[in-house]
Structure 1
Amino acid sequence: MDKDEVAGRTAQIVRALTEADAALRQALSDPEFDQQLGRAVTAVDRVYESAAEVARFEQPGGGEVDRRLVHAQQETQRQVDRIASNLGHLRRSLEATHDSGQPRGTLAVLQDSRAKLRTAMENVEALGGSGQEKSPVGALGKHVEKVKQIVEGAAADVQRVADRLEDARRGASRFGEGLPRLGSGEVARTIRSKSEQMGTSLASARQGMTRVRTAIGQNEKPVDAAVEAAPGLVEKITAEAEKPAAGLDPELAKSMQAATNPTPQSQQAGEQVSYQEPAPASRLQLSRPDTGVQL
């Protein structure tokens, strides 16, 4: 592998680590998302409370429906429609990409970082870092793998937050379906039940973001260490690549030879190469909050 290719691969690795650090910091603090989620929780609480107003005017037993009941139920439905619209916007804010015209969302940023870190690990392999932990390439690979696990855990947990927001949005958009007949005496009870379901989904989303941030906070040191160590390790890798073969560090020479001189085809009979993804990172745990990411 010539020095230009080494330079290109190591540069990508350093960029991937730097962008991962930025992605995790974005997930750690997103005030706009927190404010919108808080407003959604408050709005759902108001829907629950509106059931008391509906109950005041319900007339079980088939009597004439009080117009105030009709008005109260219609006002509740308008509130729920606004909630559905706002929750759809909130989820899209997590997933927004460059093409959306909005600032990039936390989920989109983490997913992009995850893909780049996977490419970085491929570059570590290409540089001969597999099984060479004592070499600069191997040390760099250990940093990349750790950061990749953290980002993968954060991305998975934020995806679950987005899913819970979608559950709440779907509940709001279907709120009017299956409501009892006005005057049945069951409308208020159903409003409470449906709003509780939405509230449960939003509480789960809020707790999920807390776990994500807690886990990111707990894993701040290894991320900082990786970002700080990468330039020095790359400098060593580049310097070794520029030396004549005889002057190579023994560990690096061995790994570079493995990368540039694969097993001849004639010796590969019967060999099978399989790719197995690493075991899923344990879940991040919300303050920088619990993803424990359980990594």
Structure 2
Amino acid sequence: MTATSAILSAAGLRDELAGSRPPVLLDVRWQLGGPDQRPAYEAGHLPGAVYVDLDRELAGPAGSGGRHPLPDPEAFGAVMRRAGVSSGAPVVVYDGGQGWAAARAWWLLRRTGHADVRVLDGGLAAWTAAGGAVTADRVTPAEGDFKPTPGVAGLLDADGAAARARAGVLLDARAGERYRGEVEPIDPVGGHIPGALSAPTTENVGPDGRFLAADALRARFTALGVTDGTPVGVYCGSGVSGAHQVLALEVAGLDADLYAGSWSEWSADPERPVATGPDPQ
């Protein structure tokens, strides 16, 4: 993949949809702690897009593995096939504009073996702002053939995340106040994994929700100590916004692994160490 091929502009998507090999479209609108977004999808979505529910289909049941553990591979594959995803066909994923949910779907598909998945940069908001049409038509795609590969590439567990903080760079994608432990609205305790650096996901995008240019993102991550060949890990609250950070790193031409259990898993074990304040340690 080239540095910018993980994302696609609204104009680029419009051209591809009119071409000879249109991509499969997945609508993964999602709101943290909010209502189910299926009614919003049914009220208006990109023509041909299939709705995929992040909480139920891009994650397993919440528990010891965190709030959004990875889904069962067979169940995930079945969801993707029902949505029309095939191994040899391109896929474009979008959400309401924040990009977190779309990045989660992108990460899952890419790390389980699909070679051609991109995120609509700026999501539905960018599409409609560019004059793109939406429809309330019911979508029934032809069954796809995608089967996830055994295992998930680029995945860290809790021990792996701790090791990455010691030998490499571990980025915390949550808001700075959660990293510092000043507030914690969801998880048992505030703070961060010792050695992790604060790198809020919100700083990867501009006011319009679209990614910063690749060179600007690369400069951002270079300032955090990420260079070519640096072992990098990312975590967030539950493995959703962290996927967006991995996507931003890929746009910048940099590789990173994801600690999918993230802070929701780490903080659930009182034996694991917690750092607070602005200092990584």
Superposition TM-score tier, normalisation by shorter sequence: under 0.3
Larger radius of gyration, structure 1 or 2? 1
* TM-score between both structures, scaled by the size of structure 1: 0.21
State the TM-score, normalizing by the size of structure 2: 0.21
Structure number with the higher helix fraction is 1
Higher relative contact order (CA 8 A, sep 6+): 1
